[in-house]
Amino acid sequence: MNSRFVCLATVLGLLAATPVLAEGDAAEGEKVFRKCKACHAVGADAKNKVGPMLNGIIGKPAGQVADFKYSANLLELAEGGLTWDDATLSAYLTKPKDVVPKGKMSFAGLKKEDDIVNVIAYLNTFE
């Protein structure tokens, strides 16, 4: 079986098991995002770092930030329709390698559901 379909099936399985997110607290999400700042930026002057800048990521197809070199695995999943909606981001922030198994992100994931919901709420404040 094609590895793209195996990865997509895994992502779809994770999304089916992901609960619908309640509204988070963007101010709390900003505090949690400090863990992300070594590799990612948001805001008016955000630029790509080790990871892509994250302005406007919510609801957008994966792999679309200009001038960032994504892993082949992420680009393959993006071709298959991977989009950074709340459910996908929730799964990714919980355990990145479960969503993009051969991706570049080395962060193990956030453990607390509230932290995940709050980070997504924070990211929603940047277009």
- CATH (domain of 86): 1.10.760.10
Tens-digit pLDDT profile for residues 40-87: 999 999 999 999 999 999 999 999 999 999 999 999 999 999 999 999
Number of domains in the chain: 1
pLDDT of residue 18: 43
pLDDT of residue 15: 47
3-state DSSP of the chain: CCHHHHHHHHHHHHHHHCCCCCCCCHHHHHHHHCCCCCCCCCCCCCCCCCCCCCCCCCCCECCCCCCCCCCHHHHHHHHCCCECCHHHHHHHHHCHHHHCCCCCCCCCCCCCHHHHHHHHHHHCCCC
Q: What is the pTM of this model?
A: 0.82
Give the domain extent around 86.
3-123
